[in-house]
Structures are given as C-alpha cells and as structure tokens.
Chain A
Amino acid sequence: MIEEEFDAIVVGAGMSGNAAAYTMARQGLTVLQLERGEYPGSKNVQGAIMYADMLEQIIPDFRNDAPLERHLVEQRFWLMDDTSHTGMQYRSDDFNEAKPNRYTIIRAQFDKWFSRKVREAGATVLCETTVTDLVRNAKGKVIGVRTDRAGGPIYADVVVLAEGVNGLLGTRAGLRKMLKPQSVALAVKEMHFLPDEVIEQRFGLQGDEGCVIEAAGTISRSMAGLAFLYTNKESISLGIGCLVSDFAKTMESPYVLLDAFKNHPSIRPLIAGSEVKEYSAHLIPEGGYKAIPQLFGDGWVAVGDAAQLNNAIHREGSNLAMTSGRIAGEAIIEIKGRNQPMIRRNLALYKTMLDKSFVVKDLRKYKDMPALIHTNSRNFFMTYPQLMSQAAQNFMRVDGTPKIEKEKATTAAFIKARSRWGLISDVVRLALAWR
C-alpha cells in the first residue's frame, strides 16, 4: 500500500502521538501516523482539562483556532458523603488573563484539530488502520509495522508508540508488562447538554469562564476513586473512576456509581434538565512513577499513556502525553541530525531529556502515593469523608448543645472511627508520600 520508507512511524493520533508527529514533521522528517479510529479522537476519552503551557510549547498560537470550551477561573474540591459535601473552592479573576492557563476541551473535536495541524506540518495521517505488529530485523531492532490493511509491512527508522493506556502492541511485543489491575482506573463519563446561559447562571460564570469540580468520598463506595464535573461551553462533562482492582473486588457497577453521583443532592441541581448525548468509558494509568515501563529500545520509544505517564494525584495526563511526545520527537530529530542510527543507546537521549522535565519530576514526587491510597482506600474514601461531614455539621448546626461538647463529640468520632494511632499514622504517611 505504502512503498516508501519513513523517518518515523507514529502509532496513535491522541495527545502524545499528535505532539510527536507534529514536532518531527515540522522539522522536515518524513512521518507516517497510523490511527485505528475512523477519525482522530473517535476512540479517546478525557475529562477534559487541557493545560495551555504544554500545548504552547508545541503550537504557540493554538488559541487562534483550537476548539477550546471554557478557560477555568474556579476549581472546587469536594469531599462527599451520601447527603452532603465539604468543599474547598478557589476562584480568581487573575485567571481571566490574555493567555489563560487551563481550558476545558472536548477530545473528539480537539483531536481532529490537532490532527489537521499534524497534516499541515507535512505528516501523512492514515486513519481506520489498526497496527497489528512490530516488524524487527535479524538483530531484533524494530524496523516497521504491520497493519490490518491489505499490503505488506511499512518501514521506518524509528516507531513511536503513542498507542494509549491499553498499549496492545508494546505489551504483546514484550516491550512492557501487562497492566496491573491496581495500577489502572476505569472511568465512565457522560456528556450533558444545556444552553450556555444556563451553565453560566448555575456556576456564576461570564462569557467563556469555566468552573470544575473534583470530588471524592462515599460516592466511590470505599473504592479508591474520584469523580469530576467540568463545564464546557454548552455541555457539562461528568464522570467517576475507580481502580480496576477495587471494581473487581467490590463488583460495583460503574454505571450505578455514575447514576448515584448524578443523583447526589449536591450534583443533581447542577445538571437538571440536561440532555445526555454520550456515555463513554476509558482506562487511566494510575500506577505513577513506579509503574513507568521501559521507555525506549532498538528502533522504538513509548510516550504518553502507553508509558503510564499520568499524574493521578493532580489529574493530569494529556499534558504529560503532549510533553513526552514532543520530547521524543525532539530526541529523534537530534539523533537524526547527528546521522546516528535509531538504536537503544542513542534513543536513551529521550529518557535523559524526559527525566529533566516536569513529567518525570512530578511523578517521582508522588511515587509513594498510589500504594498508600490503594491500601487505605476505605479510610480515605469512606471513613474520612463521613467524619468530615459530621464535623462540619456539628460545627454549623445550632441546637443548644454547648460548643465545647460539640468539639469533644467531633474529636471522639474521629478517634472512635480510626483510633488515635490510626489517625496519626495516616497523617504521617500522607505527609511523607506528599513531600
């Protein structure tokens, strides 16, 4: 089907693949990008908050034509029990700046735009094509791919695996191990449509301002999980995700959790009267630093979710994907510039460059968080949210009980639920993992 040989083949047209393909094509490399979806984005799911800085480093003037929904001026963190939420909220007019820092996006639209940029930069993009195999030479170096289209293998000096969290290719080729149920979350999401003025009224927004809510608590039924609600221009994205290992253990149904979240008294009024137009599901890598697999080898590099580069604590993924894709592209350009072969020793440059970036530094900072949260999910997602709610209610309800007794009751409730030592050790371990 395609005769020529390319400088690089990029597998996948998500955030990381587009960043890599764009970076390389712009510098004049011949790039073939293969995507299994009918169009870029048709297989991809995100909340979705997009971080401007990382896109700016790739396409500085993206604000001119990228499909952006709202720029964020407010973030709410909610700790929920069944009937209440305790919240922290930050809103600032400083976020109404000439070049806002965070936007909500709709992935299917955003990916189409990004892919157009990739093509304009000179890459060949082929959709409806699933890559089925890596082709290796006698020495074991990856030299191309096979696809489910008619025709033989397609060759390239280097293959960029931007295949997303499931990463079938890399796993089946033995480049990395199978995902562990405790290091991936399953998230389900719905798109709720409402007129823009209704959204602006409900969240106190003007124009393109946006607000997001991140929520944890009894909504995940003691599983390690988080829920979210993000405002788009004329829709609200909302969803919930929990670790796959926890789902397997509890046998909770994700759609039941999603419906319970939607019906929570704090959420229901925000989406009342909306029209649901899509239900989606996707995995999120949550293993953090310790789950990062081998990132490069003879003739290949792995970027984005395929390399588990996802910061679950801050709910960042697309920015790590874009940055790792860009850096992989830059490393490949540099190696090619030196006329060196795309072998393991040279491609190590990608990892050296990535280690110096925020991607690996952030993941290393939280390296102990995934294990801590996993082993303590019941305390963090069930007991503490309930206690917080009780404490807040004790504080606010005026019923003639002397304040000193209320305080004592709150303290006693915490100690009863978790024991003095349990509380202290949770705080210490959390502080250590956060450090």
Chain B
Amino acid sequence: MTIAVTKLRVEEKLYQNRYLVDPGRPHIKVQPHERPSANLLALTHICPAKCYELNDKGQVETTSDGCMECGTCRVLCEASGEIVWNYPRGGFGVLFKFG
C-alpha cells in the first residue's frame, strides 16, 4: 500500500514536467546482474524520479523516461560498472521550465 502511494506521488510530480524523450535510445542502462549490490538496490528508493525498480527475479531494471538527469545513480553505480550513464542527445531529455 505505502509503495503504491509513493509511486503515485512521484508520477503525479513528474507529470508536471516537460520532456523530449529520444525514442529507442535510453541514456541509462543497467548491466545484467544476478543480485544487485547495496547501492544498486538503494536506487529503487532514492532515485528522485523512481526510474529504478525491482523485477520479480529480484533484479534492478530501469526506465529512464522520467529521469531528471541529476546524476545520483551515476555517482553511486557507474564506477562499479553496474550502470552505463550518458547524457541524452543534445536537446532531448528533461526540459525545465523554471529550474
């Protein structure tokens, strides 16, 4: 229940934002893994856009459409090679109206 409520809350928030999604070119990828590390698992809670979720096999997956390009997941999981992180192509991604 609490999970559903939190999820709804983030989606409502992201709904206010403008994005130009680059179809078929996600700018973040999670590398295949058996079991996620503590940091990778933490992303399912701490990504401000809730882009990371656990699948039913206990692995972490990502959908970066709502990503605000903050870089938190990169700071935690790029060095270990668990994720591959790039900026979206020029002009794509989040478009802050106010910032």
Kindly state the separation between the CA atoms of A180 and B97 in the bound complex, as whole angstroms.
Answer: 29
| Shortest Cβ gap from A124 to chain B (Å) | 15
CB-defined contacts of A41 to chain B, threshold 8 Å: 96, 99
The tally of residues in A whose CB lies under 8 Å from a CB in B reads 54
Kindly state the separation between the CA atoms of A108 and B20 in the bound complex, as whole angstroms.
Answer: 16
Do the beta carbons of A190 and B95 come within 8 Å of each other? Answer: no
| Shortest Cβ gap from A261 to chain B (Å) | 13
- Are A247 and B46 CB-contacts (below 8 A) given A42-B96, A179-B75, A259-B9? yes
Do the beta carbons of A244 and B72 come within 8 Å of each other? Answer: yes
Asked if B32 is at the interface (CB within 8 A of a chain A CB), the reply is no
Kindly state the separation between the CA atoms of A382 and B70 in the bound complex, as whole angstroms.
Answer: 26
Which A residues from 228 to 278 make CB contacts under 8 A with B? Answer: 235, 237, 244, 247-248, 251-256, 259, 276-278
Which A residues from 146 to 202 make CB contacts under 8 A with B? Answer: 147-149, 165-166, 168, 178-181, 184, 186, 188, 190-191
Do the beta carbons of A37 and B95 come within 8 Å of each other? Answer: yes
Kindly state the separation between the CA atoms of A367 and B63 in the bound complex, as whole angstroms.
Answer: 39
Do the beta carbons of B96 and A280 come within 8 Å of each other? Answer: yes
Kindly state the separation between the CA atoms of A168 and B28 in the bound complex, as whole angstroms.
Answer: 14
- Are A254 and B97 CB-contacts (below 8 A) given A179-B75, A247-B72, A281-B70? no
Stretch from A43-51, A351-359, A385-393, A405-413 at the B interface: A43-51
Which A residues from 89 to 142 make CB contacts under 8 A with B? Answer: 106-109, 111, 127-130
CB-defined contacts of B46 to chain A, threshold 8 Å: 186, 247-248, 251-254
The tally of residues in B whose CB lies under 8 Å from a CB in A reads 39
- Are A283 and B98 CB-contacts (below 8 A) given A147-B90, A168-B87, A255-B9? no
Kindly state the separation between the CA atoms of A248 and B45 in the bound complex, as whole angstroms.
Answer: 9
Do the beta carbons of A252 and B45 come within 8 Å of each other? Answer: yes
- Are A107 and B75 CB-contacts (below 8 A) given A127-B91, A253-B6, A276-B16? no
Do the beta carbons of A38 and B13 come within 8 Å of each other? Answer: no
Asked if A70 is at the interface (CB within 8 A of a chain B CB), the reply is no
Do the beta carbons of A128 and B91 come within 8 Å of each other? Answer: yes
CB-defined contacts of B70 to chain A, threshold 8 Å: 186, 281-283
Do the beta carbons of A36 and B90 come within 8 Å of each other? Answer: yes
What's the A-B contact tally at a CB cutoff of 8 Å?
Answer: 137
Do the beta carbons of A181 and B13 come within 8 Å of each other? Answer: no
- Are A107 and B98 CB-contacts (below 8 A) given A130-B87, A247-B72? yes
Chain A window 62-91, contacts with chain B (Cβ cutoff 8 Å), 1 for yes, 0 for no: 000000000000000000000000000000
Kindly state the separation between the CA atoms of A166 and B28 in the bound complex, as whole angstroms.
Answer: 15
Contact of A108 among B71, B79, B97 (CB under 8 A): B97
Asked if A434 is at the interface (CB within 8 A of a chain B CB), the reply is no
Contact of A279 among B17, B20, B42, B79 (CB under 8 A): B17
Do the beta carbons of B42 and A283 come within 8 Å of each other? Answer: no
Contact of A255 among B6, B78, B94, B95 (CB under 8 A): B6
Chain B window 74-91, contacts with chain A (Cβ cutoff 8 Å), 1 for yes, 0 for no: 111011000000111111
Kindly state the separation between the CA atoms of A414 and B99 in the bound complex, as whole angstroms.
Answer: 41
Kindly state the separation between the CA atoms of A277 and B97 in the bound complex, as whole angstroms.
Answer: 9
| Shortest Cβ gap from A288 to chain B (Å) | 17
Do the beta carbons of A244 and B96 come within 8 Å of each other? Answer: no
- Are A38 and B9 CB-contacts (below 8 A) given A44-B99, A281-B68? no
Kindly state the separation between the CA atoms of A190 and B13 in the bound complex, as whole angstroms.
Answer: 9
Which B residues from 1 to 58 make CB contacts under 8 A with A? Answer: 6, 9-10, 13-14, 16-17, 20, 38-39, 42, 45-46, 48-50
Do the beta carbons of A178 and B20 come within 8 Å of each other? Answer: no
Do the beta carbons of A280 and B91 come within 8 Å of each other? Answer: no
- Are A186 and B72 CB-contacts (below 8 A) given A107-B98, A108-B97, A255-B6? yes
Do the beta carbons of B98 and A277 come within 8 Å of each other? Answer: yes
| Shortest Cβ gap from B18 to chain A (Å) | 9
Do the beta carbons of B94 and A43 come within 8 Å of each other? Answer: yes
Asked if B69 is at the interface (CB within 8 A of a chain A CB), the reply is yes
A-B contacts, 23 of them at CB < 8 A, read A36-B87, A36-B90, A37-B91, A37-B95, A41-B96, A42-B99, A43-B69, A45-B96, A45-B99, A128-B90, A148-B89, A179-B71, A244-B72, A244-B75, A251-B42, A251-B45, A253-B46, A254-B46, A256-B6, A278-B96, A279-B17, A280-B68, A280-B96
* Other A-B pairs, 5, CB within 8 Å; known A107-B99, A179-B75, A186-B72: A38-B95, A165-B71, A186-B70, A253-B46, A255-B48
Which A residues contact B (CB, under 8 angstroms)? 36-38, 41-46, 48, 106-109, 111, 127-130, 147-149, 165-166, 168, 178-181, 184, 186, 188, 190-191, 235, 237, 244, 247-248, 251-256, 259, 276-283
Which B residues contact A (CB, under 8 angstroms)? 6, 9-10, 13-14, 16-17, 20, 38-39, 42, 45-46, 48-50, 68-72, 74-76, 78-79, 86-91, 93-99
